[in-house]
């Protein structure tokens, strides 16, 4: 029995920035609820911040994109060794590779409780390329084996993902828990007045083709041809670990053409979203539940997003934003134009958006649901020494 009697909760996440942006609120809430928090991740920019929170940081070499089989075997062995050393009571794996490798390691190391959290189904299940189809075929059996552990649960962010995983034979319905996203800090993301001058339309996202960036650029061209005046902005990092990333050369080229401003990676997202009049996410990526849409809604910004799983869980068409078909630049331009031309509609949708977030998507609510799941799974299991 642990001297502190605190259950040891370990988060396994590929990137430190993703833990900081999407799981920090949950980790803080779990700590406050009496858990000892450990974070196993590849450290790039956020290691000191994680340690300053009082969490134990465990540096690993796991990479999201790696084609070297020997390095992948090393990554699995590293996680097995880590689990044997720190003896967590519960591990929370976030996203595809941590689910696969972490669950195998948990089986070998005898970790009592496993939570496998899908942050959307991602590239493998959303792309229509031959490469994605092959990857999808391979993943089905591997995932089915990975998530079949006793005292484990699969967490999804929208009902469509649950249906897909069940349909593919990866999970049984009793194994799945729906927890809608990572939540949003409603004290940090707050309403503000629209800024003076030309209206600003922002697409805040990692710079991936599958986030609808190309469609956004095409819609801007249509709007400019029609004389619609606005500033158009891309705000987000280049994610070179993702095969669909957009090059810096391409982004700078669009900027030089005068089509769009590219602001790059930003950590001051409340300020970024507060500077927008409209927030756009024309994604066809395999989203879970896009956190940036929740953050924008919490800032009382109207939304334009594609009618795909994840987005439609946040955007109620005609209520707090507009939904458009995926890969349809013309309809995207029409939706942006409609909001640019109607300030009253923008403001009304923004107010309704924050009301929805307050009611359904606060970080406190999401953390409470997740910690309740931890307690359910740990019930009757002794805390490790």
Neighbours of 53 (CB within 10 A): 15
Q: pLDDT band at 1, cuts 50/70/90?
A: very low
pLDDT at 105 > cutoff 50 = yes
326-371 per-position pLDDT tens digit = 999 999 999 999 999 999 999 999 999 999 999 999 999 999 999 9
Which residues touch 220 (CB under 8 Å, ≥6 apart)? 232, 259, 260, 333
In angstroms, the CA 177 to CA 175 distance is 7
For the chain, the farthest-separated pair of C-alpha atoms sits apart, in whole angstroms, at 70
> What band does 2 get if pLDDT is binned at 50, 70 and 90?
very low
pLDDT of residue 3: 42
**Region for residue 55 given its phi and psi (left: phi exceeds 0; alpha: psi -120 to 50; beta: otherwise):** beta
pLDDT attached to residue 281:
98
**Average pLDDT value for residue range 44-56:** 95
Across 190-218, average pLDDT: 94
Q: How many CA atoms lie within 13 A of 269 on its CB side?
A: 25
Domains defined for the chain, CATH in brackets = 8-183+362-378 (3.40.50.2000), 200-360 (3.40.50.2000)
**Residue 45 CB: number of other CB atoms within 10 A?**
12
Can you give the pLDDT at residue 70? 83
Average pLDDT over residues 14-20: 94
Predicted pLDDT at 380: 72
The partner residues of 221 in beta bridges, in order of sequence, read: none
pLDDT of residue 134: 79
- Confidence at 61, pLDDT banded by 50, 70, 90: confident
Residue 260 predicted with pLDDT over 70: yes
CA distance 212 to 325: 11
- How high is the pLDDT of residue 148? 87
Higher pLDDT, 151 or 213: 213
In this prediction, residues 131-160 reach a mean pLDDT of 86
Are the CB atoms for 194 and 273 separated by under 8 Å? no
Spatial neighbors of 83 by CB under 8 A, at least 6 apart, are: 10, 91, 105, 106, 108, 109, 111
CB contact set of 276 (below 8 Å; sequence gap of 6+) = 200, 201, 202, 233, 296, 299, 301
pTM: 0.91
Q: Determine how many CB atoms are found less than 10 A away from the CB of residue 309.
A: 22
* Model pLDDT for residues 157-178, shown as the tens digit of each residue: 999 999 989 998 999 999 999 9
Q: Tens digit of pLDDT for each residue in 114-131?
A: 999 998 887 667 666 777
Q: How far apart are CA 203 and CA 212, in angstroms?
A: 9
| pLDDT tens digits, one per residue of 276-315 | 999 999 999 888 999 999 999 999 999 999 999 999 999 9
8 A C-beta contact, residue 279 and residue 303: yes
The pLDDT of residue 69 is 78
């Amino acid at each position: 029995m642990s001297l502190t009697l605190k259950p040891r909760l370990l988060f396994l996440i590929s990137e430190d920035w993703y833990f900081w942006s999407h799981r920090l609120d949950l980790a803080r809430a779990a700590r406050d609820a009496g858990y000892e928090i450990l974070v196993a991740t590849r450290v790039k920019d956020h290691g000191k911040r994680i340690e300053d929170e009082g969490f134990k940081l465990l540096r690993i070499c796991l990479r999201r994109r790696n084609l070297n089989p020997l390095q992948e075997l090393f990554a699995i062995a590293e996680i097995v060794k880590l689990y044997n050393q720190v003896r967590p009571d519960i591990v929370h794996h976030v996203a595809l590779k941590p689910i696969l490798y972490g669950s195998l390691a948990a089986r070998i190391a005898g970790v009592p409780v496993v939570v496998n959290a899908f942050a959307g189904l991602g590239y493998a299940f959303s792309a229509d390329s031959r490469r994605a189809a092959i990857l999808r075929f391979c993943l089905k059996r591997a995932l089915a084996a990975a998530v079949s552990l006793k005292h484990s649960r699969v967490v999804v962010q929208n009902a469509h993902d649950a249906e897909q995983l069940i349909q593919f034979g990866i999970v049984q319905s009793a194994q799945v828990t729906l927890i809608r996203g990572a939540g949003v800090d409603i004290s940090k993301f707050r309403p503000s007045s629209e800024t003076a001058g030309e209206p600003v339309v922002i697409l805040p996202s990692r710079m991936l083709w599958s986030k609808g960036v190309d469609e956004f650029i095409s819609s801007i061209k249509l709007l400019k041809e029609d004389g619609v005046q606005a500033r158009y902005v891309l705000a987000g990092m280049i994610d070179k670990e993702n095969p669909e990333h957009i090059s810096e050369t391409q982004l700078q080229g669009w900027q030089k053409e005068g089509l769009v401003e590219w602001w790059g990676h930003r950590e001051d997202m409340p300020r970024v979203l507060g500077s927008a009049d409209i927030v756009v996410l024309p994604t066809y990526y395999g989203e879970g539940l896009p956190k940036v849409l929740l953050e924008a809604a919490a800032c009382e910004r109207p939304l334009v997003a594609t009618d795909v799983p994840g987005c439609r869980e946040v955007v109620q068409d005609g209520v707090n934003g507009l939904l458009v078909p995926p890969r349809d630049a013309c309809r995207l331009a029409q939706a942006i134009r409609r909001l640019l031309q109607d300030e009253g509609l923008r403001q009304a949708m923004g107010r309704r958006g924050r009301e929805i977030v307050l009611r359904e998507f606060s970080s406190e609510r999401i953390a409470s649901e997740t910690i309740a799941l931890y307690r359910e799974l740990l019930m009757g299991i002794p805390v490790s020494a």
